[in-house]
Structure 1
Amino acid sequence: MKVLQSLTGLVLASIVGCLFLTITTVKGRYSQPRHIRNCQQYRDRRGRFELTGNDDSVYCLQQNLYQSALTSSPFNVSIVYIEALLQKALSRCGNYDSLIRPPNPTNKKCKKNKKKCRKQSLYGRVARTQESSRRHGKRNCSWERKEVRMLSRSEWRRFTNRLNILKRPVRLPGGNSFIPYDIISDIHRSDVNIDAAHGGPSFLGWHRVYLLLLEAAIGMPVPYWDSRLDYDMTEPTDSVLWSDKFFGPGFGVVDSGPFAGWITADNISLVRNIGSGGSLISDAMFNDILRYTRHDPVVEPTQGRSISIERIHAGPHVWVDGQLSSLQTASQEPVFFLHHSFVDYIWYVFRKQMRDAGNINPASDYPNKGPTSHRPQENMIPFGNLRNIQGYSDFLESLTRYQTSPTCPSCGRSKDLECDRTINRCKSKARRSPVITSDADAPSGRRRAMGPIYLGRKFQSQHTDRRTRGDALRFLPLIRRQTLV
C-alpha cells in the first residue's frame, strides 16, 4: 500500500512538474514581444525598415534606427537616432534637400511675375507631385490631421497604442534597451534647445518640425486638440477629453485611460491639475490672430500687450498644470503634441489667409528679430542642418493638411460634440461624472494627497480664465540630469 502511495505521489509530482515546465516554457516564449522575433518582415525590397499598418512595425523601426545609430556613432547615439527620424520625416514626399530652400525674395523674375514664380516655387512642385500621385492612384504623402473628437475609435486607439509602443523599453542585442518616447521628449528639455524654440520667430517652424518627427516615429498623423471647443463649455474641466475615453483623468496622477501608469524620463508619474490657472484658447483669441496678414505682429517678441501665437499657446500649458506647465517637462505629457498640433493648425489657417488676402508668400515672410538663435539663417537647434527660415518653407507645410475644425450645425457628426446655437459654435460634451466614494477620490483630495512635484521653468500665461481656481500644484526645482538630446 505504501509502495502504491509512493508511486502515485511520484506520478502526480511528475505531472505537476511537466505542467510547470510547460507553463514556464509557454510563458517564456510569449513574454518576449512577438515583434522582436519577426522584425525582418518589415524590411522593404532595399532592406530598409518601413512602418506598416501593423503596430509592431513601430517597435521594429525604433530598434533598427537606434541600433544603426549605436553602431555608427556610439558616443552620440541619441542625436544620430533623432537625425535618422528627421530624415525619415522630411523624405516622406521624396527628395527634400533641394526643396526646402525658400524662394529668394530678391529674385527679379519673382518681383515681375509673382504668379508665375509661385507656380515654379517649391510649393508648386510639391503640389503637382501630390496631384500626380492622386491621379495615378498612389498614396498621398501629405497626412491629414483631424480634431481628436473627429477620430474614429479605431483611429484613436491606434494612435495611443503607437505612443505606448514608443514608451515601452526597446531591447537591443547585448541586453541593453532604450525608450524612444523619452529620447524624443528630451529634445524639449535642454536650455539650448528651449531657447532655440521659444521667444522668437522660429517658435512656429521649430515645433512644426518636432511634430513631423514624432509622426515619423509612429507612422501616422498627430490629431489636434482644438481647445476652443472646451473653452465654450460652462465648465471646461468637465470636457469628455478628461475621461478614459480620451486623455484620462485631469486631476492627480494619470492612473487610468490610454496613458495610465506613464513614468517620465525624470522617474516621476504623469500628473495633471486641469483648470488651475491660465486659459484655454478661445475663439476670440483665434480671430485676433487672423486680423493680421504678416508674421511680424503675431510672433515674438511683440510690443506691449499685443497678441501672438506663442503667447496664446502658453495658456493651455498652464491650464493643464503638471508636467505640461513646465518648459523642460511639457513634452513628457502626450497631450503636448495634440496641443501643438492645434497651434500648427492656427498657423496653417493664418498662412492660407496670407496668400488669399495679402498675396504674401509665407515662406519668405520670416521676421528678422528676436534672439540670435532665432535669426533666419541660424541652425534650427538640434535639427541637423535645417535653418530657421526653412521652418517656414512651403515644403514643410505641404507634408500636412488639416481637416477643418468641426462647425455648426452638424459638428462633424461627432458623438462627443454638440452645437451651441446661442453662439453658433460647436463645443465638447461633458464626461460622465465619476462616482466619488471618499474625500480622497475628489479632485481636491487627489491634489492634496499628491504633494509637490519636480518641475522646471514654468510657462507664463498672458490670459487667465476667470473660471480657473488658482490652486496650481506645488513644485520643487527639477533635479538636474544629463539630457538625451
Structure 2
Amino acid sequence: MAIVWTKAVSVFCLVLSLLKLSSALLEPNPFPKTLKECYDFRSYNMTPSDEVALMIQNHCFKNYQYKQIADGKIWTAPNITQEGMNYINSLFRKLFGEIVASSKSKHQKRQAAVRFRREVRSPGAFAPFVECIRRLYNTQVSANMNEYQAIASLHTGQALQSAHDGAAFLPWHRIYLLLLETACRGVPVPYWDSTVDHVMPDPTRSIVWSEQFFGNGDGQVLTGPFRNFQTTVPGDSITREIGTSRNALFTKEGLAAVLSRTRYSEIVEPKRGREYVYSLEGHHNGPHNWVGGHLPLPWVAAFDPVFFMHHAYVDAVWEVFRAQQIRNGIDPGRDYPLQNEPGHGPFDIIDFRPYFPPIRNIDAMSQAVARLVRYEPFPSCQNNCNSSPHLTCVGGVCMSRARPAASPIESFGGAAAFGPSAQDVPSQSRVLAQARGPIPGGERFRSSPFMDTRNRPNTIGNAPVAPELEAASFQARTAGMRSKRDASKILHYNVSSNAHVQSVSSLERSYTNTFIMDGVIDVKRWVYVPVRVVYNRTNANGNDPTFKANILKENLNEMCRAVGSGASKVYVASNGLDYFGTYKEFAIIDERQPISETTAAVGIKNPDYGAGEVMFSAYDSCGRPCRPFCLTSIQGKQKYRPCSGVFKISSAELQRCVCP
C-alpha cells in the first residue's frame, strides 16, 4: 500500500506491502460503504486543500467509529452505576424544569435572574463557587467517581464531536454551565475575565494564580481550593503550566473583533485565514492553551474547575453579542447558520445522551435559557473595576493585581517558584508534574488567533488518552445504549485524542502509544507492519516547498515549524474499524532531497486475538494528508496502485501473493 499526499507544493508517499505476520495475512479491502459515503458527501462542493482533506478524513473515521460503538460492534466500557445515572438524570430534570418555567414566563416582566455571574475577583463571587465544587468533589457517586468528576466526564469522548468546532459550541457549553450550577444548587459560576490578566507586564504574576483563588500554576496543583484534585485516572493530579504555548489569553483586541460582527455565523467555527480573528471559539482556545497542563487537552480540561470559570466568560461575551443583535433588530434565538456540520445543525440534539430530556441546539439559543443568567458588566475603569480590591485601573483599562512575591510553593533552595525568571526554578509542584511525565489527555486545542511572545515552551507535554478516561467517558455517556444519532462533526487538527495531528511537531519530541486494544492495555495484542514512506518534492509550479516564502502565511503555525536540518516527520496511523484501537508512529524524512525514503513500524491488531479490519492514514508535520497505494501484481510485475488504505487482518496462510 502507498499513501500519497498531493498538492501544488510537494508530494508525500507512504507504502505498505503485503506482510506475513506469523501465519497471518493483510489483504486490501474496499472502504466500508458508510465510510465511503461520508468521504463522498463531505468532499462534495468542497475546495480541495490539504487542511480540508485531513479534516474530512478525521471526521469520517470518528463518525464511523462511533456508529460501530453505538451498534455494539466494537468494545465499550462498562456502564456507570445506577447511582451515578440517577444523579446526572436528576440534574437534567431540574435544569430543564427551570427552562420550561422560564419559557412560560417570557411575557412577564423580568425581576431577577436565577443566577448572577460576577467576575471571579469581584467581592463575594468566588467563595460560594469554591464551596460547591469542593462539596461535589467530596461526594461519591460510585466507587471510582465523585460528583464533580461525573460532571467533568461529560466533556470527553463523543461529546467533543458536537461540543467544538461548529455552531453548537456556544449553546452546548451554555447548557453545560447551567448543569454545573444546578448541581451547585443555584450557586453561579463566576467568570474569569483573562483580558485583565493579559494586560499585565507578566500575566503569570496575576492574583488568580495564588492560594486565594485558583492555586498555583507552575505544575501539580498543591495550593488553593482545588489542590490535589484528580481526573478519573488514578494518580493523575490536576496540573498547570501557565504562560506556555504560543497562545495569548483573551485580549481586548480579540473581544473587539468578535463584537464587531453582527451575525452568529460570523463568530462561530469553522473559520480559516483572516476570518479566524472573529471566531469566539478561536479566542476561547487561547486561555486553554496558555494555562497549560490539563486545560489545553479537551478530554481532561473540565477536571480543572478553571475550565468552568473560563467558559462562563466565553458565555458572557456571547451574551453581550446577543444584546447587540437585539439592539440591531436581530433575533438571537433564530439567527443560526444555514450550513452546518453534523451535530451542529439548529435541530440537532445537544449531545448529552443518554440523559433525559433532550434539547436541540436552537432551543439552547432561546431567551428562555438566556433568562436563567445575568452577568455583572465586564470590569472597566468607568465602573471602578467592579469595586474589586484585586483589580486596578491603569492606562484606562482594568488590570489584575499581582499576587504576593512570596509563594506558598517554594522552590528547592527557597526561591519563589513564580515569575518570568522563576518559571525555570524547579518548584515542588513542577518537579512532581515533570516526574509524572506527559498528561494522558490526548491532543491540544487548536491555536488561538493571537499569540503572546512572552510565553515559554511547555515542558510537561501530553500523551494519548488514558484507558481510564475512555472508560469514564463511556460510563458517563453510553449506559444501556446501543443506538446513536449522528451527532458528529469535522474535527480540527488538535481537538480529539484520536485526531491525526499533533499541535506541536518537533524532532526532539517522541510519541508514546497507550497500547489500548478493546479497553485492555496489552502489548501482546499488537503486531507491527513495516510501512515504507516516500517523499517526492517535485511539483507542477516549480516552487520549492522548503523555501519559507512559498509557505502560505496561515500555515505558519505551531504545527508547521521549519527545522534547519531539513528533517521532518511523517506520521502514520492505524485505526481499527472493527476493534477499538489506534496506533500512531512517525518516520523522519529529509525535505531537502528531491526524493526521500524511509520506513516506520505501525501497530495493528494481532490476529491471534481474532480477525480484524484496519484503516491506515498518514500526514506530514504540517498536517498535509497522504493518499494510499497498494502493492499489486500486474502481469507478473509488482506495481503500486491507488487503494483505500483499508486492510483485512486474518490468520489465513499466505498463498498466491508476492511479498517484497
Q: TM bucket by the smaller chain?
A: 0.7 to 0.9
Give me the whole-angstrom Cα distance separating, in 1, the residues matched to 2:304 and 2:379.
25
1:26-53 C-alpha deviation (Å, 9 max, x unpaired)? xxxxxxxxxxxxxxxxxxxxxxxxxxxx
1:156 aligns with 2:142: no
Alignment match, 1:347: 318
Contact 1:145–1:401 (Cα < 8 Å) also in 2: yes
Alignment match, 2:391: 417
Query: Deviation at 1:234?
Result: 0.5
Alignment match, 2:251: 282
1:427 aligns with 2:411: no
Mapping of 1:324-403 within 5 angstroms? Answer: 324-356=295-327, 358-382=328-352, 384-403=357-376
Alignment match, 1:85: 91
Mapping of 1:238-257 within 5 angstroms? Answer: 238-257=205-224
1:34-76 C-alpha deviation (Å, 9 max, x unpaired)? xxxxxxxxxxxxxxxxxxxxxxxxxxxxxxxxxxxxxxx9866
Mapping of 1:154-303 within 5 angstroms? Answer: 155-170=125-140, 178-190=145-157, 192-219=158-185, 220-267=187-234, 268-277=236-245, 278-303=247-272
Contact 1:408–1:425 (Cα < 8 Å) also in 2: yes
Q: Could you say what secondary structure the match of 1:418 adopts? A: strand
1:467 aligns with 2:454: yes
Query: Deviation at 1:141?
Result: 4.9
Query: Deviation at 1:235?
Result: 0.5
Contact 1:301–1:370 (Cα < 8 Å) also in 2: no
Give me the whole-angstrom Cα distance separating, in 2, the residues matched to 1:473 and 1:208.
31
1:273-315 C-alpha deviation (Å, 9 max, x unpaired)? 0001211000110010111111011101124231201000000
TM-score (normalised: structure 2): 0.54
Q: 1:274 to 1:95 in 2, by over 3 A?
A: same
1:454 aligns with 2:440: yes
Query: Deviation at 1:379?
Result: 1.1
Give me the whole-angstrom Cα distance separating, in 1, the residues matched to 2:135 and 2:160.
26
- Alpha-carbon RMSD: 2.2
Query: Deviation at 1:426?
Result: 0.4
Alignment match, 1:65: none
Q: Could you say what secondary structure the match of 1:375 adopts? A: coil
Give the stretch that moved more between structures: 288-297 or 448-457.
448-457
Mapping of 1:29-178 within 5 angstroms? Answer: 78-92=84-98, 95=101, 99=103, 125-126=105-106, 128=108, 130-131=110-111, 140-152=112-124, 155-170=125-140, 178=145
Give me the whole-angstrom Cα distance separating, in 1, the residues matched to 2:349 and 2:82.
19
Q: 1:265 to 1:407 in 2, by over 3 A?
A: same
Query: Deviation at 1:437?
Result: 5.4
Give the stretch that moved more between structures: 342-351 or 159-168.
159-168
Query: Deviation at 1:388?
Result: 1.3
Give me the whole-angstrom Cα distance separating, in 1, the residues matched to 2:229 and 2:361.
33
Q: 1:94 to 1:393 in 2, by over 3 A?
A: closer
Give me the whole-angstrom Cα distance separating, in 2, the residues matched to 1:203 and 1:433.
39
Query: Deviation at 1:77?
Result: 5.4
Alignment match, 2:287: 316
Give me the whole-angstrom Cα distance separating, in 2, the residues matched to 1:405 and 1:199.
26
Give me the whole-angstrom Cα distance separating, in 1, the residues matched to 2:81 and 2:139.
20
Contact 2:443–2:463 (Cα < 8 Å) also in 1: no
Q: Could you say what secondary structure the match of 1:351 adopts? A: helix
Q: Per residue, is there more strand in 1 or in 2? A: 2
Give me the whole-angstrom Cα distance separating, in 1, the residues matched to 2:282 and 2:144.
38
Q: Which amino acid aligns with 1:338?
A: M
Q: 1:85 to 1:158 in 2, by over 3 A?
A: same
Give the stretch that moved more between structures: 466-475 or 401-410.
466-475
Query: Deviation at 1:477?
Result: 1.6
Q: 1:305 to 1:211 in 2, by over 3 A?
A: same
Query: Deviation at 1:81?
Result: 3.0
What 5-or-longer segments of structure 1 have no aligned partner? 1-72, 100-121, 132-139
Q: Which amino acid aligns with 1:130?
A: R
Alignment match, 1:45: none
Give me the whole-angstrom Cα distance separating, in 2, the residues matched to 1:368 and 1:255.
47
Q: 1:127 to 1:398 in 2, by over 3 A?
A: farther
Q: Which amino acid aligns with 1:413?
A: S
1:357-386 C-alpha deviation (Å, 9 max, x unpaired)? x20000000113332111111111115411
Give the stretch that moved more between structures: 375-384 or 158-167.
375-384
1:330-371 C-alpha deviation (Å, 9 max, x unpaired)? 000100000000000000000000111x20000000113332
Give me the whole-angstrom Cα distance separating, in 2, the residues matched to 1:127 and 1:429.
43
TM-score (normalised: structure 1): 0.72
Query: Deviation at 1:129?
Result: 5.4
Q: 1:375 to 1:77 in 2, by over 3 A?
A: farther
Contact 1:201–1:369 (Cα < 8 Å) also in 2: no
Give me the whole-angstrom Cα distance separating, in 1, the residues matched to 2:350 and 2:107.
25
Q: 1:285 to 1:127 in 2, by over 3 A?
A: farther
1:476 aligns with 2:463: yes
Q: Which amino acid aligns with 2:381?
A: C
